[in-house]
Every structure is written in structure tokens, then in C-alpha cells.
Amino acid sequence: MLRVAIVGATGYTGCELLDILIGHPEVKITSLTAKLDAPIKIHDEFPRFKGRIDLPCTPLDAGEVARSSDLIFLSLPHGVSMKYAALFLKAGKKVIDLSADFRFADVGVFQQWYGIRHEQTGLLKEAVYGLPELHAERIRTARLIANPGCYPTGSILALAPLVKERVVELDGLVIDSKSGVTGAGRKASLPLSFGECNESFRAYKVGAHQHTPEIESELGILAGHALAIQFTPHLVPMNRGILTTAYARPLKETSTEEIINLYGRFYAKAPFVRVAAKGRLADTKDVWGLNYCDISIVVDNRTHRIVVISAIDNLVKGAAGQAVQNMNLMSGFPETMGLA
């Protein structure tokens, strides 16, 4: 049994990780920590775990976490993760970091968009961007995974085949994305209160969201050169789910069938990408609680544009589920174990 720890267990992502890992047949959860003054039972904070796991959640004692576990999920704020990642790696542990700290090869991009000084630049080269559909081979042998952001997961998977296969103009990609409220984290916040979010739909951080460079970075690698995308996130009055509507111009005339076939080939070995048949459109409801990324395609010959729509559960494929998928690959388990 793989001994795993969750550092930062009381956020939505930590809680989802726990929910998934409880059902994983090859995992033993050995440590849960959070920013606390004193240990609690995890079900004191989340009654849904009562009777399902009987583990205390304690203030973080890095030495203790290292002693008791083989692989550590870090669900910590950006800028805080890097220090602990370094520490656990040094202790010979594997680390899956759910923050943005190791997602950028170019430290300047990270520092510019996050406004945080990077203190572990030596690890950036080793860190692998944990999107298994693109980097499965490197993930298998990685010690440090930078688990992707939620918007980037849905956006990159939506556009990767078009970019990689040179089907579309790379100057002018538009990504209009819509997320449920848990994507903003679990915290006391007036703008995230029910009275402010319910019966409300709004955009935020237009052209300025920190997930923008992450999408650009990965699509840029596929393109072979830097590119800029227009990314607009919106807040949907629902708990979970991200729908991403991406717009691209084909370089030459094509058809919905042709592009669906392209995606089918591109993701032939990806167990968690489901390409919809012609005429079907992705819906966040269909991936609720699941690790799938559903992708649907419409080629609009009237306007000469390809519209790609992807749906994920922001807490599963967009965070905790993808982290477990990465853990499976790193540990030699079947990629779908505990996730199907």
C-alpha cells in the first residue's frame, strides 16, 4: 500500500482528494494536516467523512509527514508550497503540488503573474506539468508534479489537438470559460457568499487571470513557439464544473466530422477524455464527480470557425482527480485506478 499524506486537507480540493483516496484500493492515507491550532478529527470539519475515515487532521509537522508517508499531496497557497515541496523531496518523498509554484519553466512568468518571488528555482527543471494526456511518460518517472490549474486543464485539452496538428491560426485563439464557485476555494468572502453569487453571472479578471500564462505556456510548447490567448473566466451559480468554449479559425476548410476524428486519434490512449459524437454538446452535469474531460466540436462553415467546448469537474479532473491520476502513473498503478 502506498502511504500518502494530504497537506492542506480542509479546502475543497483537500476534501475531494480525501473522498477519492478513501476509495483507492492501493492507498493508505497516513496523514492529514491543515492550518490549525490543535488537532481535530477530520469529520469535525467535514461531517461527510464520519464513519468513513478515522484520522486526525493536525497542524503541519513536516518531519512527521515525511516519516509517515511515501507520497505527499500539497494543497497549499501559491508561494507556500514551494518550500515544503523542496523539503519533502529532500527527504526522498514524491510530491504532487496542487499550487502553481512549479507549473512554469520560465520563473519570470510565474513571478510576473503571481507577484511572488520563487525560492526554489532549482526544482523548476525537474518538475513535470501533470497533464497526463500530454506528459504521461515524464509523469511516470517524476518525483515532483505540478498539478495543473482547473481552467488550464479544460482549456489545454480543448485546444491541444488543433494547436499540435497545425489546424488553426495560433494568433487569435479566444477561450471563454465558466466555472462553478468552488473553484474559488473555501473561505469566508463577501463576493463568494450565497447572496452575492446566486442569481448572478459575471466575468472576472478579464485578460488578467493567472491561469492565462499557464494555458499559453502549454499550448506554446505544442505550437513550438510563444502565443497569446484571450482568456475570460466567469463565475456560474453552481458548486462544480467548468465549461470552456474555445474559438479558433481553421487554416483551411474542414468539417465537424474531420475534427472529431482528429480529436479521437489524438486522445485515443487517454482514458479520461471523451470526445462527443457530432451533434452532442458537453455539459458540466455529465462530468459531475468524475475525472473525465468531455469535449465537443462544432465546425461552423458559415463563419469559418471551429468551436470546441470542454467540460470538467473543477474539483476532480481540474484538481484532485487529476492529482490521483498522476499518483497512479508515478506509482505504476493503472491510470484509472480509484477514479472509475
Minimum CB separation from a second copy for residue 114, in Å?
16
Identity of residue 60? L
Minimum CB separation from a second copy for residue 261, in Å?
17
Contact, 149 vs 100, CB < 8 A?
yes
In the block, cell 490549474 appears at: 149
Minimum CB separation from a second copy for residue 293, in Å?
11
- Among the candidate windows 103-111, 160-168, 223-231, 260-268, which touches a second copy by CB under 8 A? 223-231
Instruction: Report the alpha-carbon distance of residue 296 to residue 289 in Å, rounded.
Output: 19
196-207 burial, b if ≥16 CB within 10 A, otherwise e? ebeeeeeeeeee
Identity of the residue, 88 or 247, whose beta carbon is nearer to a second copy in the bound complex: 247
The grid coordinates of residue 234 equal 466567469
Contact, 165 vs 261, CB < 8 A?
no
Contact mark string toward a second copy, 240..259, x via CB under 8 A: xx-x-x-x-x----------
Identity of the residue, 126 or 204, whose beta carbon is nearer to a second copy in the bound complex: 204
Identity of the residue, 61 or 204, whose beta carbon is nearer to a second copy in the bound complex: 204
| DSSP string across 138-163 | HHHT-SEEEPPPHHHHHHHHHHHHHH
Of these residues, 15, 150, 197, 293, which one is catalytic? 150
Minimum CB separation from a second copy for residue 19, in Å?
9
Closest-CA residue to 107 (of 121, 96, 125, 97): 121
Identified binder of a second copy from the candidate list 121, 257, 280, 334, rule CB under 8 A: 280
Identity of the residue, 3 or 234, whose beta carbon is nearer to a second copy in the bound complex: 234
Identified binder of a second copy from the candidate list 12, 84, 266, 333, rule CB under 8 A: 12
Contact mark string toward a second copy, 47..66, x via CB under 8 A: xx-xxx--------------
150 binds a second copy (CB under 8 A): no
- Among the candidate windows 138-146, 149-157, 269-277, 322-330, which touches a second copy by CB under 8 A? 269-277
Identity of the residue, 61 or 115, whose beta carbon is nearer to a second copy in the bound complex: 115
Minimum CB separation from a second copy for residue 53, in Å?
10
Exposed (0-12), middle (13-18) or buried (19+): which is 111, by Cβ within 10 Å? middle
How many C-beta neighbours within 10 Å does residue 15 have? 21
Report 190-209 residues binding a second copy (CB under 8 A). Answer: 190, 192-204, 206-207
DSSP letter at 275 equals E
Identity of residue 235? L
Identity of the residue, 94 or 149, whose beta carbon is nearer to a second copy in the bound complex: 149
Minimum CB separation from a second copy for residue 184, in Å?
8
Report 162-191 residues binding a second copy (CB under 8 A). Answer: 172, 174, 176, 178, 180-182, 186-190
The grid coordinates of residue 10 equal 480542509
Strand pairing of 27-33 and 128-129? unpaired
Closest-CA residue to 127 (of 82, 159, 66): 82
Active site residue 150: yes
Identified binder of a second copy from the candidate list 138, 254, 283, 337, rule CB under 8 A: 283
Identity of the residue, 85 or 309, whose beta carbon is nearer to a second copy in the bound complex: 309
Instruction: Report the alpha-carbon distance of residue 26 to residue 293 in Å, rounded.
Output: 24
Identity of residue 262? L
Q: Which residues are identified as catalytic? A: 150
